[in-house]
Amino acid sequence: RYLSGCSTTGQCPEGALYVLDALLDPECDPERYVGHLASTAVLAQAHSCAANAHFLKLMASSDQILDMVMDERRFRRTENALDEDPALAYFIFAVQHANLSAKLGLVSPVVLQIGFAARETGASLGVEPCQMKRSRHVRFLWGAVMANLEEIYDEERKRREALHGRRGGCVCAAEGCGIRAEGGATLRACSGRCPRDLKPHYCSKTCQKKDWPAHKTVCKAGS
């Protein structure tokens, strides 16, 4: 209810985290903590929900941040006593909980959302998070992201083969264009992060913009 806002005055991620502490934080009130009694499935769901709550805090608007500060003072959770940049802390906690959810076998939509968000953050800094030495600490999350990427790429390969077969040459990818150049001599390939064999070719910027909504799911997976 805290996460969804159902039967409450609105979403309250901090309230959700306070409830989840009973499953995830052995240092919370001993009378509340029941994590040692929970099943693996329940703990996985709890980590996924906690990841969602931290991600909601990370993505909060300026108006929502004021409410969040009040909620943090209201619930007085130990996590909030950290002397860190709040946004960085929310991001780190979201990634950690998403990784633990994946480790316990639950790769929920929000786990993938956080994983792809971390990947895009790394891309904006010119690094690939899954290739960093420290990434081993969240290897389950990166494993889930990479597995999902392969699913996306495999589906696109099957779609292209069904649509175009195994024809040679290179055709502008924009729907309705049809301009062909054998060997791609006059067509430019997408410069994004999509695999080489899935890079579409375009005859112009206009065609590239036209095709972006379709290609975005492959080139910017997770969007």
Q: Please state the rounded mean pLDDT for residues 2-11.
A: 80
Long-range contacts of 175-180 (CB under 8 A, 24+ apart): 175/210, 175/211, 175/214, 177/203, 177/207, 179/203
Q: Please state the rounded mean pLDDT for residues 134-142.
A: 83
Q: Please state the rounded mean pLDDT for residues 23-27.
A: 92
What is the reported pLDDT for 168?
A: 47
Q: Is the model's pLDDT at 90 over the cut of 60?
A: yes
For 66-83, give the DSSP string.
Answer: HHHHHHHHHH--GGGG--
Q: Which of 103-117, 125-139, 201-215 is the most confident on average?
A: 103-117
Q: Please state the rounded mean pLDDT for residues 109-114.
A: 96
pTM of the shown model: 0.81
